[in-house]
Chain A
Amino acid sequence: MGRKLLLEHINVPGINTLEVYRQKGGYRAVEKALKTLTPDEVVEEVKKSGLRGRGGAGFPTGMKWSFLAKPEGVARYLVCNADESEPGTFKDRYLMTHIPHALIEGMIVASFALGAKTSYIYVRGEMMPQIRILEKAIAEAKAAGWLGKNILGTGYDLELYVQPGGGAYICGEETALLESLEGKRGNPRIKPPFPAIAGLYGCPTVVNNVESIAAVVPIINDGGDEYAKVGIGRSTGTKLISASGNLVKPGVYEIELGLPVEEFIYSDEYCGGIANGKRLKATVAGGSSVPILPANLTLKYANGEPRLMSYESLSEGGFATGTMLGSGGFIAFDEDQCIVRNTWNFARFYHHESCGQCSPCREGTGWLEKVLHRLEYGHGKMSDIDLLVDVSKKIEGNTICPLGDAAAWPVASAIRHFRDEFEWHVKEPVKSLSSNYGIANYAVPIEKKVEEVKQDNS
């Protein structure tokens, strides 16, 4: 069993209440931070922990905190990003539903470290049940003196509010989230200035993902150095992985970073293998935005070494043969799934969710959707495949926010690894409507493939 730092007590009955959460050692981190540490010392512990942003970008949290400007007489804000919308990701919902006080405790410690007197948890609007859970938990914490004026007699004041979104993927981008919190359309802002200088209401602001904030609790309890001992290399600590798709046991798993991908998919402790006795065809390892990989490259690098669940290992090989850990949204595709159809589905998603601000994304995502739709429905031309590559290249890197990249990468990677399947849709338009291309050689070990190629050449 791997170590559990966030979900250790998840199965304890009543852990969603303050009473039981306290019995299991909850709010120790608040006591320790407010009574024995200075704000800068809290930031230092988080820096030492090596914690990287759990929302998808993987930027070191402690470093993000240390960038926060602290001009005299200007309010500072901490905003928690609970706008969980990346397809394949549902870990924050799970955490907020079952152990809401872990987020609230982390918010108090992080707000103290940053000198914020008012903090907001921006939850996607569809999660009304979770909003009510958090509001109830905040009321409990406030009644018990963990929030409000003069917390624990230390003179530190903090008010914490939950803000619902309105239904927009783009609000997971931190500056779009801040616009939304100000009551506007979620259009990402041009950076610089970064939120650390001018964020909410033009004031210095830190925006952190739910899981990043919750991870501050074990970091303060055990110390940043202890946290950094868990995991592998620069991927320290544990990560919540949302597993979905054709798996025996989809769900949220807390893993120690560095777990072999093969073990995660096939061991009974985690996903228990592919559902219905099928074979694995492909995976999207970190939420829909990251490159899709065929089964063989999911489990192993191109050189045959086993791939691990960590920031570095998943991106080994760059985009040619690797992917990214992203938000930890792990989607598994079995041998019956159609890559073209899924790529079209994701393209439609990004087209729908593009805020429309930047032309390459607004127009390009529409092109991707339409061209993929005609390929999927038997009206495609061979030149469409290169057209998709061309359009995706013209979106990537040419937009204010990363949604453009997120829309381009899945398409580019699907064609990179599954081009034969796209070509089959063009060559066999009728057949492709009623049957699937199947697993082809996507599951064949890489070494064997290389040997075959050698034989062909000889």
Chain B
Amino acid sequence: MLKVEETQPVEFSSALVEKFDEIVSRYPAGKQKSALLPILHLVQAELGWTSPLAMDKVAEYLNIEPIEVYEVASFYSMYFLQPKGKYVLEVCRTGPCCLVGAEKIMDHIEHKLGVKEGEVTADGLFSWRGVECLAACGYAPVLQIGPDYTFYENLTEQSVDTLIDNLKNKQDLRQ
């Protein structure tokens, strides 16, 4: 469900638009809509989520209707329609990961961060959620953190603690 929130006006930097242009050049003339998914990833990496105003801007850039962007952003699981923590810990919760303890890891993260799935910690740093199969079942349990989607494998409660503490101490990891 698309819940519109107040957001700051969005301006894409010229460097970002250059990246958009390169992506559009990968498709035949007139098929620029193919660039929508990759562009939304870039926007989310920049803003932390795909805000309604940002989506409108993307529609304008691609010369498509805003609804064509909304329906895509709401269909795919990777696009955040709400602001999230700076680091979103996405833990695989599908079968093979659960055979080797993914549920315990999620419980542990909930306890450690003190927020429920989908919520943001008070300092704005962390969110977490369970996601479906990340195709890393042999290294389970696993989690990923965007926007680079770095993978953390063979998780234990201790390794999750270390990871979260390291992220807290290294706040500008994204830059």
Residues of A within 8 A of B (CB): 75, 84-90, 92-93, 118, 120, 124-129, 159, 161, 163-169, 180-186, 201, 242-246, 250-252, 284, 288, 329, 331, 333-334, 337, 341-342, 345-346, 349, 352-353, 355
Contacts and interface: CB of A to CB of B under 8 A. Distances in A.
Nearest to B69: A183
Interface string B80-105: 00000000000001111011100000
B46 to A, nearest CB: 15
Nearest to B102: A345
Contact of A85 (B37, B133, B140, B144): B133
Interface stretch (B11-19, B148-156, B166-174): B148-156
20 contacts: A84-B135, A85-B132, A87-B137, A88-B137, A90-B137, A92-B135, A128-B149, A161-B26, A163-B26, A182-B31, A183-B37, A185-B71, A185-B75, A186-B76, A245-B100, A331-B99, A342-B98, A345-B95, A349-B133, A352-B132
Interface in B111-151: 131-140, 144, 146-151
Interface of B: 26, 28, 31, 33-38, 40-41, 62, 64, 68, 71-72, 75-79, 93-96, 98-100, 131-140, 144, 146-151
A344 B75 CA distance: 23
Contact of A182 (B26, B33, B134): B33
A238 to B, nearest CB: 18
Contacts of A159: 26
Contacts of A337: 99
B138 A166 contact: no
Contacts of B38: 163-164
A288 B94 CA distance: 10
Contacts, number: 154
A118 B28 CA distance: 9
Nearest to B94: A87
B100 to A, nearest CB: 7
A345 B137 CA distance: 15
Contacts of B41: 125, 164, 166
B78 A85 contact: no
B27 to A, nearest CB: 8
B37 A245 contact: no
A79 to B, nearest CB: 11
Given A243-B138, A349-B95, 9 more contacts: A128-B149, A159-B26, A167-B77, A180-B37, A182-B33, A182-B34, A250-B140, A284-B95, A345-B94
A163 B96 contact: no
Contacts of A85: 132-133, 135
A84 to B, nearest CB: 5
B25 to A, nearest CB: 10
A180 to B, nearest CB: 7
A244 B135 CA distance: 11
Nearest to A410: B95
Nearest to A355: B75
A353 B77 CA distance: 9
**Can you list the 5 inter-chain pairs with the closest CB atoms, starting with the nearest?**
A166-B76, A244-B137, A167-B78, A183-B33, A183-B36
Contacts of B28: 75, 118, 201
A169 B37 contact: no
Contacts of A180: 37
A353 B90 CA distance: 17
A166 B98 contact: no
Contacts of B148: 128-129
Nearest to A86: B133
Contacts of A250: 137-140
A165 B137 contact: no
A127 B137 CA distance: 14
Nearest to A92: B135
A159 B22 CA distance: 14
A337 B98 CA distance: 10
B17 to A, nearest CB: 18
Contact of B72 (A86, A92, A181, A183): A183
Nearest to B33: A183
Contacts of A355: 75
Given A163-B37, A342-B99, A346-B95, A126 B137 contact: no
Given A90-B138, A166-B75, A168-B76, A183 B96 contact: no
B33 A288 contact: no
Contacts of B150: 129
A293 to B, nearest CB: 15
A426 B146 CA distance: 42
Given A129-B149, A201-B31, A93 B95 contact: no
